[in-house]
Amino acid sequence: MKMKIPWSISTTVRNPERLRDFLSVLKRLEGQSFDANNQINYQILLIQERLYRPLNIPLKFRKYYEKPNMQIPFKVAKEIFYTQNYKDPPMRGRQSVNPLNKLGFSIAREGSGPIRITELGNRFLAGDYDIGFIFFKSLLKLQFPNPWSEDFSYQRGFNIMPFIATMHLIYRLNKKSSNKGLDKTEFSLFIPTLINVDEINEQIEKILEFRKEKDKKKYISNFAKKFYGVQKVPDKKIKNLFDYGDNIMRYFRLTRYFKVTMDPFGHYWRVDLEPSRKVEIELLLNMYDGKAIEFKDANEYLNYLSDITKPTLPWEEIENLKKIALSLRNTIIDLIKREDIAIFDNEKEFLNTNIAEFEKKQLEEYISELRKLNLEVREKLRKIRIVSDIEKIKDVINILCDIKKLKKYEPEHFEKLITEALKIINDEILIKPNYPVDDEGEPISYSPGNRPDIECYYKTFKAICEVTLNTSRFQWIQEGQPVMRHLRDFEIQHKGKEVFCIFIAPQIHNDTYSQFWISVKYEYDGLPQKIIPMTTKQFALLLDVLLQLIKQGKRFSHKELYDLYTQIINITKKLNSFSDWANCIQNVIKEWSQKSILL
């Protein structure tokens, strides 16, 4: 038998949502052969679209990277590509397309007909897609070996559907241990090295051994030696396991079948099965043992990849759908009773719906609505807990003022932090973050690029909130145009209403102030806009005012917020430069803060 190797999903793209950009570029080549020429063309297009940056950028082309608003011509991208002097140039394109093929989004391989984007891939490219559904269907099809996997073969010991096998492992482990799920180290060691379903029980015993072991470092080294079958393991191979583990976790959590608890920096995390999907998980585990499906040939496998209805799901049977609906409904009712949460009469009615005679489509819609209600109830509970929690408000203020700490935040956790800060103010109709969430409302990725980060609905005005951790001179290029475009789209959606955009970053670059100054003072696409740039420290001042008021038994309302935002916009009429505006924003916020505390 060949030397064992761990499995992985994609080392090319760390963040799963970036695959959409890679797929979008491949779509331009659809219908053509993925021969050596198009393998090279694909990689050149990725360079042109700034989705891949080679190490060696010729001096004459560095301006394209110093000024990211400049379009890279195809000829320039081509020259940059060939400057790298790759030994096998087409291989670069094959590597970049590999995760798209592996996850069933495309069929792009030399000798396998024209490039095809599968139905699942096209759904991923569509504007309004459910990321959980996309990656659940995709990861269910991931298996080793398969007719296209030369590395992850039977000869190397592979026989696994990783998504299902990981569920089996955690499910069985949780029966044996009160320490539920897997922490970052356990997941990274024991999931990528689980290459055969017959080894699940053995792997569980190793996890339990590892938990008892005092010298963790020594255990990891010995475990790696045994897995690879060598006397000495380079540190890089052990580091790779942690990279694979982190990557796998990011893909798995998008499905919402795995619950990931993570610190805001992404340093420490834990993976468990999602409690609210207990019935679905048990049905899946009863239907699939985690062994790879056997295919007669590559064509049968390609047809399987292309068919969005495959593999068969256990809840396609109506009785199983009823079990899921009843389980989820009971979970929500238990939460409401336990936490004594007030709900509306129509929600009570909805929870008491008689589903005995429901047909399949009605049950699917009912389950979908139950999931929405589950999120709303949990959000209501979270808000009750944070709005008057003095220590929580102090904690948020301290974090917003600590730029070094903020820069280490994962983007989605920064979006969550600002969302919570807006909710603490507590005078909104709705604060709606656009990042995808798990079944408990925790972010599983950052907001998609085609929407504002956060939408804010108040009685007298509406706003979007755009946030970024980028403080470099490229801030205005990466954030400026999208922010103004999102605001204009939001203005059009809410015609006749007063609409603002609050832009928040740890630091705001002069070029960003300049860009927004033009939009506010003059126009963006023919009409002026209302954009309020604030540093996180300035935004923290709003919460500090709220904290002082809470101690006096008072709060400020959205009307005071409106006054502040209006002052920041109106002051531009008296100023001649963006730098004056930047300085004045600080003064306006300070004066507003002092006045609000005295009210």
CB-based contact 13:167 (threshold 8 Å): no
Taking the CA atoms of 550, 552, 555 and 560 in sequence, report the sign of the dihedral they define.
negative
Give residue 490's pLDDT band: very low, low, confident or very high (50, 70, 90): very high
Q: Please tell me the least confidently modeled range out of 205-209, 456-460, 478-482.
A: 478-482
Residues 500 and 440 in one domain: yes
Q: Which residues pair with 527 in a beta bridge?
A: 524
Give residue 150's pLDDT band: very low, low, confident or very high (50, 70, 90): confident
How many other CB atoms sit within 10 Å of the CB of residue 174? 15
**What is the arithmetic mean of pLDDT over 557-583?**
93
**What is the arithmetic mean of pLDDT over 518-533?**
93
Give CA separation, 369 vs 363, 372, 443, 508, in Å. Answer: 10, 5, 19, 40
Q: Please tell me the least confidently modeled range out of 88-97, 140-149, 318-327, 526-535.
A: 140-149
Final residue of a structural domain among 268, 287, 306: 287
What's the pLDDT score for residue 480?
84
Torsion of CA 196, 201, 205, 211, to 10 degrees: 80
Residue 152: DSSP 8-state: S
User: Residue 546 corresponds to which tokens in the numbers above?
Assistant: 């709220």
What's the pLDDT score for residue 1?
58
**pLDDT tens sequence across 244-301:** 999 999 999 999 999 999 888 778 999 999 999 999 999 999 999 999 999 998 889 8
Question: Is 309's pLDDT higher than 90?
Answer: no
Residues 428 and 577 in one domain: yes
Q: Are strands 499-505 and 531-535 parallel, antiparallel or unpaired?
A: parallel
Question: Is 129's pLDDT higher than 80?
Answer: no
User: Residue 139 corresponds to which tokens in the numbers above?
Assistant: 């990861």
What's the pLDDT score for residue 106?
95
User: Residue 394 corresponds to which tokens in the numbers above?
Assistant: 């102090």
Cis peptide leading into residue 16 (ω within 30°): no
User: Residue 180 corresponds to which tokens in the numbers above?
Assistant: 């539920």
Final residue of a structural domain among 236, 266, 287: 287
Element (H, E) at 117: strand 116-117
Residues 369 and 458 in one domain: no
What's the pLDDT score for residue 151?
80
In a domain, 297, yes or no: no
Give residue 485's pLDDT band: very low, low, confident or very high (50, 70, 90): very high
Strand, coil or helix: 184: helix
Question: Is 24's pLDDT higher than 90?
Answer: yes
Question: Is 67's pLDDT higher than 80?
Answer: no
Residues 398 and 465 in one domain: yes
Q: Higher-confidence residue: 316 or 173?
A: 173
Beta-sheet strands, E only, within 135-292:
182-183, 258-262, 269-273
What's the pLDDT score for residue 425?
84
Residues 358 and 456 in one domain: no
Q: Which CATH number fits the domain that encloses residue 171?
A: 1.10.10
Q: Please tell me the least confidently modeled range out of 26-30, 157-161, 179-183, 384-388.
A: 384-388
User: Residue 599 corresponds to which tokens in the numbers above?
Assistant: 């009210």
What's the pLDDT score for residue 447?
87
DSSP assignments along 565-592, one per residue = HHHHHHGGGG-S-HHHHHHHHHHHHHHH
In a domain, 111, yes or no: yes
In a domain, 258, yes or no: yes
In a domain, 139, yes or no: no
- Tell me how far the alpha carbon of residue 124 is from its chain's centroid: 14
User: Residue 571 corresponds to which tokens in the numbers above?
Assistant: 């002051």
Residues 433 and 540 in one domain: yes
Which backbone phi and psi does 291 adopt, to 5 degrees?
-80, 150
Give the span between the Cα atoms of 544 and 421, in whole angstroms: 11
pLDDT more than 70, % of the chain: 99
**What is the arithmetic mean of pLDDT over 25-43?**
98
How many other CB atoms sit within 10 Å of the CB of residue 233? 18
Question: Is 3's pLDDT higher than 80?
Answer: no
What's the pLDDT score for residue 302?
85
Burial tier of 47 (Cβ tally within 10 Å: 0-12, 13-18, 19+): buried
Which backbone phi and psi does 317 adopt, to 5 degrees?
-85, 135
In a domain, 509, yes or no: yes
Structural domain range at position 539: 390-598
Residues 550 and 579 in one domain: yes
Residue 192: DSSP 8-state: T
Give the span between the Cα atoms of 132 and 92, in whole angstroms: 29
User: For tokens 């394109």, what's the residue?
Assistant: 93
**Helix, strand, coil percentages, rounded to 5, for the chain:** 60, 10, 35
Beta-sheet strands, E only, within 296-440:
430-433
What's the pLDDT score for residue 599?
63
Question: Is 373's pLDDT higher than 80?
Answer: yes
Residues 424 and 567 in one domain: yes
Give the span between the Cα atoms of 17 and 254, in whole angstroms: 9
Give residue 83's pLDDT band: very low, low, confident or very high (50, 70, 90): very high
In one-letter notation, the amino acid at residue 133 is: F
Long-range pairs for 360-363: beta carbons < 8 A, 24 or more residues apart: 360/316, 360/318, 360/321, 363/318, 363/321, 363/322, 363/325
**What is the arithmetic mean of pLDDT over 108-134?**
89
Final residue of a structural domain among 239, 267, 287: 287
Residues 196 and 243 in one domain: yes
**pLDDT tens sequence across 11-21:** 777 778 889 99
**What is the arithmetic mean of pLDDT over 400-412?**
92
Residues 169 and 276 in one domain: yes
**What is the arithmetic mean of pLDDT over 24-31?**
97
In one-letter notation, the amino acid at residue 42 is: Y
Give the span between the Cα atoms of 573 and 36, in whole angstroms: 59
What's the pLDDT score for residue 127?
67
Strand, coil or helix: 443: strand
Element (H, E) at 258: strand 258-262
Question: Is 69's pLDDT higher than 80?
Answer: no
Torsion of CA 103, 107, 110, 113, to 10 degrees: 160
Q: Are strands 462-467 and 499-505 parallel, antiparallel or unpaired?
A: parallel
In a domain, 277, yes or no: yes
In a domain, 149, yes or no: no
CB-based contact 568:588 (threshold 8 Å): yes
Strand, coil or helix: 505: strand
Residues 526 and 488 in one domain: yes
Q: What is the CA radius of gyration of the chain?
A: 26
Question: Is 575's pLDDT higher than 90?
Answer: yes
Question: Is 441's pLDDT higher than 70?
Answer: yes
Residues 456 and 559 in one domain: yes
Question: Is 2's pLDDT higher than 80?
Answer: no
Strand, coil or helix: 240: helix
Nearest 5 degrees, angle CA 305-CA 50-CA 448? 60
Which backbone phi and psi does 181 adopt, to 5 degrees?
75, -165
Question: Is 202's pLDDT higher than 80?
Answer: yes
Please count the structural domains in the chain. Answer: 4
In a domain, 150, yes or no: no
Give CA separation, 366 vs 44, 323, 355, 371, 373, in Å. Answer: 47, 12, 9, 9, 10
Give the span between the Cα atoms of 519 and 505, in whole angstroms: 18
